[in-house]
Amino acid sequence: EPAFMWRNDAKRGWRPIGVVPERAFWRDAHALFQGSREKSDHVERPKAIVQLSTPEVRGAVPAGRRFALELIGLATNKSSIKSVLHETLWASAPLLADPDAGEVLRESLRFAEEAVGALGRAIYLYARLALSVGEREPDKKDIRGLVDALGARRRAWNALGRHFDALLSELETDLDQAQARFADTCRAVVRDCFQTATASGEQPRWLRARARAEVNLNRGLAQLRGPEEDAA
């Protein structure tokens, strides 16, 4: 099927890349750029994207033209449909053919995963400390229940998804600036989601939990390796 993306499995051979219901595809969009440096032994892009990346087609496409890449998938459970994925990403032919842009995109998405991971750890600490009474350690199910109810990670991914198209657009003009700006956006979004998720607790125990969790978050964000550290 030429419209599929394929991954070469060591045991089963070439298999279509499926969708994960709980994970928006843009978080793995670097797969659309893999193989732009050379033919990948592990991932095969859809044929239309491969064709769009060729010098012949790029020479015939007006400068600045961006294409809508529609991603459609079904997640099934046996014979029933569990969920439907339908996303649209915008990219130009030169961007799809630029191996450096593909690498910057991969690193930017890695940074986003680590930033939201730091948020998740801080929120878990907040929930554990907020639910602790005296020396009693709260039940892990209660901690996870509060973490899920706060919805900080989900809110962060939704917010970053709204910034992803701007990242793709900026990659077409300045790779370093696009990467640095998206890293700054990740930090700002994560901090904002933390503040929103922990704003309601006013009891001393909750305020102390918030202060300690915020220190944990700031420490986690400070340890991330961003584009400025790579340049240094």
Kindly report, residue by residue over 62-106, the tens digit of the pLDDT.
878 999 999 888 888 888 888 888 889 999 898 888 888 889 999
pLDDT at residue 228, as a whole number: 56
Q: 51 and 57 in contact (C-beta within 8 Å)? A: yes
- The C-alpha angle 113, 45, 35, rounded to 5 degrees, equals 75
Concatenated DSSP letters of 61-104: SPTT-EEEEEEEEEEEETTEEEEEEEEEEEEEHHHHH-HHHHHH
Query: Which pLDDT band holds residue 8 (cuts at 50, 70, 90)?
Result: confident
**Is residue 214 over pLDDT 50?**
yes
| pLDDT tens profile 149-185 | 999 999 999 999 999 999 999 998 899 999 999 999 9
pLDDT at residue 78, as a whole number: 82
**Is residue 144 over pLDDT 80?**
yes
pLDDT at residue 118, as a whole number: 97
**Is residue 226 over pLDDT 70?**
no
Residue 180 CA, distance from chain mean position? 15
pLDDT at residue 56, as a whole number: 92
Pairing of strands 6-9, 43-44: antiparallel
pLDDT at residue 133, as a whole number: 82
**Cα separation of 130 and 232, whole Å?**
39
| pLDDT tens profile 40-52 | 557 888 999 999 8
| pLDDT tens profile 114-136 | 999 999 999 999 999 999 987 78
pLDDT at residue 16, as a whole number: 87
pTM of the complete model = 0.86
Query: Which pLDDT band holds residue 231 (cuts at 50, 70, 90)?
Result: very low
